Amino acid sequence: MHLLVIGGSDAGISAGLAARERDPSAEVTLLVADRYPNFSICGIPYHVSGDVPYWRSLAHRSTTDLLHAGLNLRLEHRATAIDPDAHTVTVTTPQADTVTFAYDRLIIGTGAVPALPPIDGLDTLGPADGVHVLHSMGDMFAVLNSLERRQARTAVIVGAGYIGLEMAEALTTRGLTVTLVEQLDQVMPTIDGELAAPLAEHLREHGVDVQHGTKVQAIHADDAGLTVETDRGNHPGDIVLVVTGVRPDTELAAAAGTRLGIRGTIAVDRQMRTNLPDIYAAGDCVHTYHRLLDQHVYLPLGSTAHKQGRVAGINALGGTAKFAGSLGTQAVKVFDLVAAGTGLRDGDARQAGYDPITIETTADDHKAYYPGATAIRIRVTGDRATGRLLGAQLLGSRGAEIAKRIDIYATAISYGAAVADISDLDLSYTPPLGSPWDAAQIAATAWQQATGR
Amino acid sequence: MHLLVIGGSDAGISAGLAARERDPSAEVTLLVADRYPNFSICGIPYHVSGDVPYWRSLAHRSTTDLLHAGLNLRLEHRATAIDPDAHTVTVTTPQADTVTFAYDRLIIGTGAVPALPPIDGLDTLGPADGVHVLHSMGDMFAVLNSLERRQARTAVIVGAGYIGLEMAEALTTRGLTVTLVEQLDQVMPTIDGELAAPLAEHLREHGVDVQHGTKVQAIHADDAGLTVETDRGNHPGDIVLVVTGVRPDTELAAAAGTRLGIRGTIAVDRQMRTNLPDIYAAGDCVHTYHRLLDQHVYLPLGSTAHKQGRVAGINALGGTAKFAGSLGTQAVKVFDLVAAGTGLRDGDARQAGYDPITIETTADDHKAYYPGATAIRIRVTGDRATGRLLGAQLLGSRGAEIAKRIDIYATAISYGAAVADISDLDLSYTPPLGSPWDAAQIAATAWQQATGR
């Protein structure tokens, strides 16, 4: 049995490891397009900031560990064509040769690529000019090179999603003066504006010039440096990062005849099977089953890629694993604040046929009398018709256990919880770390009181 | 409608507030035996330590807030008899008068009292001698008085449950040298010995002389001070705390004819009704429905008392609330470590008819590359026969989100989760606060791999 995996990031590596776990006699070959298998691209901001001094630390597992697990790693092997009938993949090697790999089963984990907005200049300017995307280890090295080479003291970041926010912090920590430009009228478009506003304020308190509701029209380069031209004025910078989201990298799969799903993703079932025989796919290149919506969406997240990869790896070797689904659970740390969310917000919920209402509550992370208590802002979304819990969003201090507190809601939603169930949960309590009614429960009770459910 | 509540601690206050919320026209009178309604007795160690400078801060709500909520507070009113037929309660007032209160509905929230082990000297020595129990605000003031009056520099704590551990930290923080004596062969008998051992080691690193497997036989007082005599030697101390657990305070209820349950608790159903008409009970004086065991146990915990009180208050005014049940979820901070647990351990699970096995795993709280990552020791208990998740125990650093991470397991157990479900949960991930597979999931996967389930 020869399992071939295209992709050496979260989904591909998880698939390969799961396959080897299931059948230690299986031959598993990973085609890794770059030289960085199994690196945590989520960790890129923390190497740029200096928090992680050595870039090799960003590897989830060392190459040695991967080899020890019995994976055949082929670095700088870029797949250029899949022949589903012949069960072969054509690959360009580091020597620019073209070779063919045969497979019994194939897993496609090609991931995502930066989605570039229509900005004048983006087609011609690049890393050599100090204009960067940031989605791979190679991109990171290019950014570091620009920072050094251009002795950058100012940066303009286009896009205030979680990577944009983390990079705003990272570059500020490095000593740069940062302008953060976002087209939508709030930072962090995956949380409600009510929580995004204090997050933007926090960025400003740390010196970031936050410009939301601002559309970038062009990027210009001249001897003086770079200028980001927007509909509300120009922002000069020594370096420009364009981090406006990603799109699935599916050219290879599409050319081979895999059926595509929402937003150009590879369509897979919950066993991570494509429509083509013996071909599976997983990670940021596929659509993701959403537990609450009971349909597929595009949710390119590392935590999901790991889980999908594992399912693909098990099933490729004859298993019957099933991807349980995502809730879009996310957390981001921005300086001293943490924002987190899970499930649906009003807009998505309404579109899915629910009758949602969101109630915001503020509650202390632990007993107010114990030193260090901080307020958490909690937005609970529930269905008015059924009382079902649909989602939650939290904003609070680092140290307030925001990340694992959102997971209480995520866990409950997975089981189809009602909002009322949350207050009944037997959650832990000790004054330095909680309250007899945990903040998560106080927020649920407030939702009940506001809705009479 | 006149609702009378005996008890002004967690259960009684929660009951009164819930009743007033449900029916703002209800007359609600609380008989509070001491002068401290609605104080967080869980906070006592933090006032003794100095972390909470003002004792009044320990109130969950101020007296003014309680009055504002429309509760009739009768302080230093000790109920001495209940006449269920006449629907009256006899009360001793601060003036030592005896008065009678009539009720339409009665809620008994008399709580618990210290359970004293058979130690010679305990019957004669008391606060005046520097020998203390610690379960009420009055007890706390007595301890503070002894510390001052005796200029205490050394303390012996008998009992290494969570109060014993917290007081060991509190008195050490105050500058005392502390000896902690425990009859069982580990500290924190509610967690497995494998986690108790490093917890004891941590106490020792902070200067606490931990003596477990040591039975106290007598306490002696002479001019030189106090001596705690054990089967393994004597420990001198300027002050002695005996914190060896509590028993339900049910004399009053029993005399009135309420049926008693396990360990002398007041037997109630899940609506918190006693066997007597119009009489409810809640909190540390009643038995507690356990979700996993599907039977009643004695679990005197503040978080549970609040929930039971609320159910009693709603139902006393005609509602139909039902206590969802407890899992015994607990957390305790001891210096820089946090221990937490939920559900069943091997012993209890086996007794309940499960076929339990516990697997221990160590996993980082967040990505190792990001500064400050610490290892969490996680013990997952599951049923070999069905794969059902029965319990979990965590030990890790303060700041590692231990308290809310145990709540992920507690939430899942509430829904009858299998251990395998945990790995499928969509938990939050960002490198400074988690991992793509959260520590909680890594531990669940390890359990599955060890058991083949």
Interval B311-315 mean pLDDT: 98
Task: Tell me the average pLDDT across B115-132.
Answer: 96
Q: Which pLDDT tens digit goes with each residue over A139-170?
A: 999 999 999 999 999 999 999 999 999 999 99
Residue B125: name the closest of B249, B243, B218, B231 by CA: B218
> Average pLDDT for residues B175-189, to the nearest whole number?
97
Q: Which amino acid is at B334?
A: V
Q: Which residues in chain A are closer than 8 Å to B39, comparing Cβ atoms?
A: none
CA distances from B216 to B125, B226, B229, B400 (A): 15, 13, 6, 36
For tokens 């079932």, the residue is A269
CB contact B373 to A (< 8 Å): no
Strand, coil or helix: what is A391?
strand
Alpha carbons A350 and A352: distance in angstroms, whole number: 5
Confidence band for A303, pLDDT divided at 50, 70 and 90: very high
The residue of chain B nearest to residue A162, with distances taken between CA atoms, is: B430
Residue B432 has pLDDT above 90, yes or no: yes
A401: closest chain B residue by CA: B401
Confidence band for B385, pLDDT divided at 50, 70 and 90: very high
The domain spans of chain B are: 2-41+56-111+247-316, 127-242, 336-451
Q: Percentage of chain B surpassing pLDDT 70?
A: 100
Number of H helices, E strands in chain B: 12, 25
A369·B304 Cβ contact <8 A: no
User: From the centroid of its chain, how far is CA A45?
Assistant: 13
- At residue A223, the pLDDT reads 87
Tens-place pLDDT, residues A177-229: 999 999 999 999 999 999 999 999 999 999 999 999 999 999 999 988 999 99
Of the pLDDT bands very low, low, confident and very high (cuts 50, 70, 90), residue B96 is confident
pLDDT classification of B224: cutoffs 50, 70, 90: confident
DSSP codes, B336-400: TEEEEEEE--HHHHHHTT--EEEEEEEEESS-TTSTT--EEEEEEEEETTT-BEEEEEEEEETTS
Average pLDDT over residues B338-359: 97
CATH of A2-112+247-316, one of 3.20.20.70, 3.30.70.2190, 3.40.50.10880, 3.50.50.60: 3.50.50.60
Q: What is the Cβ-side half-sphere exposure of residue A395, based on CA atoms within 13 angstroms?
A: 21
Chain B residues lying within 8 Å of A328, measured CB to CB: 426
pLDDT, tens digit, 9 for 90 and up, residues B37-67: 999 999 999 999 999 999 999 999 999 999 9
pLDDT score at A187: 98
Cβ contact, residue pair A425, B431, below 8 Å: no
Q: Edge to edge, what strands does the sheet with A78-83 contain? A: A78-83, A88-92, A98-102
- Phi and psi, residue B31, nearest 5°: -95, 110
Tokens of A210: 């936050």
Check CB contact of B425 with chain A, cutoff 8 Å: yes
Domains B2-41+56-111+247-316 and B336-451 in one fold: yes
CATH 3.40.50.300 fits B2-41+56-111+247-316, yes or no: no
Instruction: Provide the CATH number for the domain formed by A336-448 in this structure.
Output: 3.50.50.60
Distance, CA of A62 to CA of B354 (rounded, Å)? 40
Question: How close is the nearest chain A Cα to the Cα of B331, in Å?
Answer: 6
Instruction: Give the integer Cα–Cα distance in Å for A288 and A308.
Output: 9
pLDDT, tens digit (0-9, with 9 covering 90-100), for A45-96? 999 999 999 999 999 999 999 999 999 999 999 999 999 999 999 999 999 8
Place domain A127-242 in its CATH homologous superfamily.
FAD/NAD(P)-binding domain (3.50.50.60)
pLDDT (0 to 100) of residue A453: 84
Confidence of residue B223 (pLDDT cuts 50, 70, 90): confident
Class of domain B336-451: alpha beta
Mean pLDDT of chain A: 97
Give contacts of A401 with chain B, Cβ < 8 Å.
401, 403-404
Q: For residue A262, which of A238, A288, A281, A224 has the smallest C-alpha distance?
A: A288
pLDDT of B453 = 84
| pLDDT confidence of residue A96 | 85
Give the best residue of B304, B367, B397, B426 to mutate against chain A (max A CB count within 10 A): B426
